[in-house]
Amino acid sequence: MNRAVVVGSGSAGRRHAAALRRRCPDAPITVVRRPGSTTPADGLAELGVEIVDSVEEAARLEPDVAVVASPSPFHRRHAAALAAVGAQLLVEKPLAHEVADAIGLVDDVEATGRPVLVGYHLRWTDTVPRVRQLLLEGAVGAPTSFTLEVGQHLAQWRPESEPSATVTARAELGGGVLRELSHELDGARFLFGEVDRLRCTLQRDGAPTDGLVDTVAHLHLVMATGLTGAVHLDMVAPSPFRRWVVTGDHGRLTADLLNGRIHLTTRAGDRSTVSDTSGSQRDLAEDRLIEHLLEIAGGEAEPICTGDDGIAAALLVAAAEESDAAGREVTVDRLSATDGSPG
Q: Which helix (H) or strand (E) holds 274?
A: strand 271-276
Mean pLDDT, rounded, for 216-222: 98
**Could you check whether 4-122+285-301 and 123-277+314-331 share the same CATH topology?**
no
pLDDT of residue 39: 58
Q: By the 8 A CB rule, do 229 and 221 touch?
A: yes
pLDDT of residue 338: 41
For residue 151, the number of C-alpha atoms closer than 13 Å in the C-beta half-sphere is 14
Domain 123-277+314-331's class?
Answer: alpha beta
Cα–Cα dist 243/241, whole Å: 6
Tell me yes or no: is domain 4-122+285-301 CATH 3.40.50.720.
yes
Q: Angle at Cα 309 formed by Cα 105 and Cα 125, nearest 5°?
A: 120
Average pLDDT over all residues of the chain: 93
Q: Is a pLDDT exceeding 70 seen at residue 41?
A: no
Structure confidence at residue 11 as a pLDDT band (50, 70, 90): confident
CB contact set of 186 (below 8 Å; sequence gap of 6+): 93, 120, 122, 123, 305, 309, 312, 313
230 residue type, one letter: A
Q: How far, in whole angstroms, is CA 123 from its chain's centroid?
A: 9
Structure confidence at residue 333 as a pLDDT band (50, 70, 90): confident
Q: Is a pLDDT exceeding 90 seen at residue 73?
A: yes
The domain ranges of the chain are 4-122+285-301, 123-277+314-331
Torsional class of 176: left (φ above 0), alpha (ψ -120 to 50), beta (otherwise): left
CB contact set of 318 (below 8 Å; sequence gap of 6+): 98, 99, 333
pLDDT of residue 36: 62
Q: 228-262: buried (b, 16+ CB within 10 Å) or exposed (e) per residue?
A: ebbbbbbbbbeeeebebbbbbeebbbbbebeebeb
